[in-house]
Amino acid sequence: MTAPRPVEIRVGMGSCGIASGARRVAQAIEEEIRRTRAPARLVPVGCNGMCFSEPIVEIVAGNGDSRTFGNVTPGMARRIVCMYAPPASPFRRALGLSRRIVDRLTDDRAWAPMCDYQIDLDSSGEGAYLKNQERIVLRRAGQGDPLDLDDYLAHGGYSALRRCLMELKPDDVIDIVTRSGLRGRGGAGYPTGAKWRVTRDQPSEEKFVICNADEGDPGAFMDRSVLESSPYQVLEGMAIAAYAVGAAEGYIFIRAEYPLAVKRMSEAIRLAEEKGWLGEDIQGSGFDLKLHVFESAGAFVCGEETALIASIEGRRGTPRVRPPYPAEHGLWGRPTLINNVETLGCLSWIIGKGPEAFSALGTEGSKGTKIFALAGQVRRGGLVEVPMGTTVWDIVHQIGGGVPEGREFKAVQIGGPSGGCLPARLCHTPIDYDALRETGMIMGSGGLVVLDDSTCMVDFARFFLPFTQNESCGKCTFCRIGSKRMLEILDRICEGTAKERDLEALEELAGVLKSSSFCGLGRTAPNPVVTSLRYFREEYEAHLEGRCPAGKCRALIKYVITDRCIGCTVCAQNCPAEAIAVTPYEKHEIDLEKCVRCGMCKVVCPQDAVDVE
């Protein structure tokens, strides 16, 4: 008689899970399994994308049935183990547990307190987060130990590479990728097959392939999560790409600020080499590929291809003139193929399922799926993978659950500091490269920050300029000085000292940066300002009149205590500037000269008696 499969208790151990306390949860579950000798095994998995519910625990029974729990604490560990992996009868006595006690622990009625944490993946609530997605790159996210190569192979891993090496010629692979319609997911959207063809056709005996994982956009975490959850999937994609273009060596360029991704990718390379999926003569095919992990210095500009290459070569990470492009003259002067993490993550699925299956998803000009990092003022933030053509509205409301209760959806910031601010009235725009371009946006790498009506669009546009200005390599005057002058104007607007001519100067500077900057960083840096001016100009004009409609710009607002005040003194006790005198049972007053506009009085007032004017 075959022994029943042990219960799998999967704990999300991506960066988001660990930051939320997943290590302590995993330790508590492991201790309980060991203490009770329960027929279960703990499996550390990557993030499944539901970052809003971390730490996440999924129970997978021997028959494949599963339950998922969110916001799990170490104190819930014993109930989790006892409910789904109760110890056998001999161990009940050894543990001093009567049958009645154990049965009570495993009774659904005794489990009621845990039901508040269960996520019904078939429901219209939190379960809608995964239900409304189409997952290709994220298909293995949260499904197994990221570094378990045997598990990856058991679920079809490396079958696409095997097919390429044993059945297909390099030109056949390029043809499949071209027919799939895959476009680069790093932001520009250049056809992947066309880039591969140029690299393949270069008459050089030495070529390189590079995975660009230098994800630097504020609010973006797609590449990090994929590298942490599915390292072998990325390595398989790199091997397929290298075989197609004729490269025998490659680099994975990862931000040094992603230590877990660096660690897992380095270990995955070592394990893949041990099993013959990397290195010399891969699986007896005669194809060689040596891969290295290269940690970036954390410069945003190194996400640009030529700056990235300069960094690997040991030089300062600054862009150079193109052409020639890296596909012609790249790393060490050799033809170099550079694709980002998400692009490479699509390849094994495309080779395995066929180009037609991929091109059947999406729109006419934008095929397949796209991953977005859903963040900001939204109920359910995390990773989202949807077919191209899905609307922003559907992502924010059907998947993300909309903005917090009592607030109104105002806009989304698409594409990070290089993207733009799309107003709510245009959020039925389908997400594809061409449709977004018509609204003045670019998709970028996939950051999607949700904004509600508490956001000041002027202040939000200003938020990105210090980042782009600090991250400018300084090579060209327009980016180095122009972004600084734009920031100075926005500072004046938020401080209430700007004039009408400042808006004209802001638009003029933005145009100069877009048309004259040396690389993509400078050319796209004005986008948040340009789009917010285009769609929210009335807010800029209100600031010129000395008003901040959202009540965020400190120089343009004041806090006033209304007649709802009951004199409880809570505001006075919490005011850091001592701008409120302690007058029990009397209406309080705020000394506006002392007030620093921190808003603490409004936050702590139990009567909601503080208004912003």
CATH number of domain containing 509: 1.20.1440.230
Are 18 and 109 part of one and the same domain?
yes
Place of tokens 């590929």: 289
Tell whether the model's pLDDT for residue 1 goes beyond 70.
no
From the list 211, 166, 169, 165, the residue with the least C-alpha distance to 186 is: 211
DSSP string, 501-545: HHHHHHHHHHHHHHHH-SSHHHHHTTHHHHHHHHH-HHHHHHHHT
- Choose one of 433, 452, 471: the last residue of a domain: 452
Q: Answer yes or no: is 550 within a domain.
A: no
Tell whether the model's pLDDT for residue 410 goes beyond 70.
yes
* Number of C-beta neighbours around residue 298 at 10 A: 14
Report whether 46 contacts 146 (CB < 8 A): yes
347: its two tokens:
């390849």
Are 475 and 416 part of one and the same domain?
no
Tell me the CATH number at 575.
Answer: 3.30.70.20
Q: Answer yes or no: is 476 within a domain.
A: yes
428: its two tokens:
């039925």
Are 423 and 473 part of one and the same domain?
no
From the list 530, 522, 526, the residue with the least C-alpha distance to 471 is: 522
Q: Answer yes or no: is 2 within a domain.
A: no
- Quote the mean pLDDT of the chain: 88
* Average pLDDT rounded to a whole number, residues 332-348: 96
Tell whether the model's pLDDT for residue 66 goes beyond 90.
no
Of the two residues 577 and 92, the one the predictor is more confident about is 577
How many percent of the chain have pLDDT more than 70? 92
Helical (H) or strand (E) element with 25: helix 22-36
Tell me the CATH number at 299.
Answer: 3.40.50.11540
Are 104 and 182 part of one and the same domain?
no
Tell whether the model's pLDDT for residue 92 goes beyond 80.
no
Predicted local confidence at residue 25, as pLDDT: 94
Are 30 and 176 part of one and the same domain?
no
Q: Answer yes or no: is 442 within a domain.
A: yes
How many percent of the chain have pLDDT more than 90? 60
* Average pLDDT rounded to a whole number, residues 386-403: 93
Are 160 and 298 part of one and the same domain?
yes
Are 446 and 381 part of one and the same domain?
yes
* Average pLDDT rounded to a whole number, residues 350-376: 94
Q: Answer yes or no: is 597 within a domain.
A: yes
Place of tokens 């056998």: 88
Predicted local confidence at residue 320, as pLDDT: 87
- Place 449 in a pLDDT band, splitting at 50, 70 and 90: very high
* Average pLDDT rounded to a whole number, residues 135-149: 93
Q: Which domain holds residue 275?
A: 149-359
pLDDT digits (tens, 9 = 90+) for 551-576: 889 889 899 999 999 999 999 999 99
Q: Answer yes or no: is 168 within a domain.
A: yes
pTM assigned to the model: 0.89
Are 166 and 213 part of one and the same domain?
yes
Predicted local confidence at residue 424, as pLDDT: 93
Please give the Cα distance from 514 to 138 (Å, whole number): 34
DSSP string, 240-256: HHHHHHT-SEEEEEEET
Predicted local confidence at residue 606, as pLDDT: 93
Tell whether the model's pLDDT for residue 540 goes beyond 50.
yes
- Place 215 in a pLDDT band, splitting at 50, 70 and 90: confident
pLDDT digits (tens, 9 = 90+) for 481-520: 888 899 999 999 999 898 889 999 999 998 888 888 878 7
Q: Answer yes or no: is 136 within a domain.
A: no
pLDDT digits (tens, 9 = 90+) for 258-303: 999 999 999 999 999 999 999 999 999 999 999 999 998 778 888 8
- Choose one of 338, 359, 380: the last residue of a domain: 359
Provide the CA 8 distance to its chain's centre, in angstroms.
27
Q: Answer yes or no: is 143 within a domain.
A: no
Are 170 and 26 part of one and the same domain?
no
Predicted local confidence at residue 578, as pLDDT: 92
- Please give the tally of structural domains in the chain: 5
Sign of the torsion angle spanned by Cα atoms 109, 113, 116, 120: negative
- Place 443 in a pLDDT band, splitting at 50, 70 and 90: confident
User: Using N-to-C axis directions, what is the helix angle for 527-535 and 457-471, rounded to 10°?
Assistant: 170
304: its two tokens:
């640009």
Tell me the CATH number at 58.
Answer: 3.40.30.10
- Choose one of 414, 430, 452: the last residue of a domain: 452
- Place 604 in a pLDDT band, splitting at 50, 70 and 90: very high
Report whether 213 contacts 308 (CB < 8 A): no
Of the two residues 122 and 407, the one the predictor is more confident about is 407
- Place 100 in a pLDDT band, splitting at 50, 70 and 90: very low
Are 253 and 235 part of one and the same domain?
yes
Predicted local confidence at residue 439, as pLDDT: 83
* Average pLDDT rounded to a whole number, residues 218-225: 86
Are 348 and 379 part of one and the same domain?
no
Are 463 and 448 part of one and the same domain?
no
* Average pLDDT rounded to a whole number, residues 393-421: 89
Sign of the torsion angle spanned by Cα atoms 404, 405, 407, 412: positive
Sign of the torsion angle spanned by Cα atoms 78, 81, 83, 85: negative
Please give the Cα distance from 469 to 489 (Å, whole number): 14
